Amino acid sequence: MSRPTGTSDTPSACRSQIACAFQRALSPGAIRWAFGLLSLALLAVPARPVAAEDAYQLGYDYYQKEQYSSCAEEMEKAVKESPDEYKRQYLLGLCYAKAGKWDSAIEPLKKATMVQNDSLDGFKMLGQAYFKLPKPDYYQAQIALERAAKLDPKDASIHYLYGFASLKIGKHAAAIEALKQARELNPKDKRALRELGTAYVGAKDWANAEKTLAAAAQELGGDCGVIKMLAAVQMTNAGAVSGDAERKNLFGKAFATVKDCAAKGDDVDQMYTAGKAALFSERADDAISFLGKVVAKSPKNHQANSYLGQAYELKNQEEKALAAYQKALEIGKAGGLNGTDLADYLYRVGHAHHLLKAYKEAVTYYDQAMKISPDHDRATAWKEKAMERIKQAEMQE
């Protein structure tokens, strides 16, 4: 920049050389020239970078103000300067978590727990982050929460989360122990009792499953999801009983458990469970009612059609039974049903024909069933009876 010049800036007369120099220095043009040089000098000086400690403090301040996105932004700067410092990585992960950005929270939380492997807060938050992913990673959550549970064996919430994650990945023994611990530490945690019952189901410990789910259903005030599971367990226990009378009573108990929830009509599985329990406890009308609703809502459910046919048989409504069995067979074949299940459907169609005195048709289906399953005792026995009827008819002719 050139020095400002011009007559307008030069005094017309000075009493001395020193006075003239002061006048020139204080002239408007000279002042503008000086400010121009100062501006260029300022532009030439690089801006001082924000120190990591400054960024951390800013991030912490944003966290305190619940401005979590801004907190994460500042903490990203802080961790670049000190990537191996626990408090920076943890606060970065925490801010992302609080902002609902769980996928972004995982990496800094992992780094935080690597730097400080006894960080209870770090492992607990990391486990929760894996839970909150769009597609939860229960395997990694279980690993993080197992560590957290060891660090604080008295925290009921950690044991619950660890047990739930274990349940989700099929580690039923670990789930049972963790959920029992959660329940002992917090006897009011109804979730822990419900999931404990589910874990017993997964472990096929039917006796403890029934006991625990019954308690959960009572505490949860008739939770239909728990009740459906309880009824299914009760039917499993009933099926293991050898005596007919006792088995019938146990299926009746299962029906009593689930019927009110099933009557709401908004859950096909509950209606199916109720219909099956009613059938096996010989409550034909209830079975027809519930199973009829099931096949109306889920017409491709071949097993429901087969059970509906059996219910009609109990009411001596053979034509309706035949129609239901034929439907079950048709759907089953279309769905690739084979083996003993297909043989049983063929037998039931044959048996319905038998009850309608269409013995030749019955034999046809009995033969098909025996071809698939040569040891099908009922098909064999009823075929012999059908053949006798056919012979008697031929003799009478």
Interval 339-356: pLDDT, tens: 999 999 999 999 999 999
pLDDT in tens, 137-146: 999 999 999 9
| Res 326 pLDDT > 90 | yes
Judge if 145 and 188 occupy the same domain.
Answer: yes
pLDDT in tens, 165-182: 999 999 999 999 999 999
The answer as to whether 60 is a domain residue is yes
- Choice between 265 and 103, residue whose per-residue pLDDT is larger: 103
Chosen domain end from 200, 221, 242: 221
Mean pLDDT of the chain: 89
Torsion of CA 320, 283, 266, 302, to 10 degrees: -40
| Res 268 pLDDT > 60 | yes
| Res 2 pLDDT > 70 | no
How sure is the predictor about 395, in pLDDT bands with cuts at 50, 70 and 90?
confident
Q: What is the DSSP letter of 117?
A: T
The pLDDT value given to residue 396: 82
Judge if 149 and 207 occupy the same domain.
Answer: yes
How sure is the predictor about 52, in pLDDT bands with cuts at 50, 70 and 90?
low
Judge if 80 and 152 occupy the same domain.
Answer: no
CA distance 321 to 142: 50
Judge if 68 and 157 occupy the same domain.
Answer: no
How sure is the predictor about 3, in pLDDT bands with cuts at 50, 70 and 90?
very low
The answer as to whether 184 is a domain residue is yes
CA distance 77 to 173: 44
Judge if 154 and 188 occupy the same domain.
Answer: yes
Q: How many CB atoms lie within 10 A of CB 145?
A: 29
The answer as to whether 300 is a domain residue is no
Judge if 13 and 74 occupy the same domain.
Answer: no
CA distance 89 to 101: 15
CA distance 139 to 303: 35
CATH number for the domain that contains residue 62:
1.25.40.10
The pLDDT value given to residue 272: 96
Judge if 93 and 14 occupy the same domain.
Answer: no
Judge if 132 and 217 occupy the same domain.
Answer: yes
| Res 13 pLDDT > 70 | no
| Res 42 pLDDT > 70 | no
Domain boundaries, position 217: 118-221
The answer as to whether 170 is a domain residue is yes
CA distance 385 to 355: 11
The answer as to whether 227 is a domain residue is no
The answer as to whether 249 is a domain residue is no
How sure is the predictor about 23, in pLDDT bands with cuts at 50, 70 and 90?
low
The pLDDT value given to residue 266: 85
The pLDDT value given to residue 131: 96
Judge if 111 and 134 occupy the same domain.
Answer: no
Judge if 129 and 68 occupy the same domain.
Answer: no
Judge if 145 and 108 occupy the same domain.
Answer: no
Chosen domain end from 187, 221, 255: 221
| Res 281 pLDDT > 70 | yes
The answer as to whether 385 is a domain residue is no
The pLDDT value given to residue 265: 85
| Res 10 pLDDT > 60 | no
How sure is the predictor about 44, in pLDDT bands with cuts at 50, 70 and 90?
very low
Chosen domain end from 63, 82, 116: 116
Domain count across the chain? 3
- Token pair of 238, please? 């009933």
Judge if 71 and 107 occupy the same domain.
Answer: yes
| Res 59 pLDDT > 80 | yes
Mean pLDDT of 81-89: 92
What secondary structure does DSSP assign to 330-389, as a single string? HHHHHTT--HHHHHHHHHHHHHHHHHTT-HHHHHHHHHHHHHH-TT-HHHHHHHHHHHHH
H-helix or E-strand spanning residue 243 = none
The answer as to whether 271 is a domain residue is no
AA identity, residue 114: M
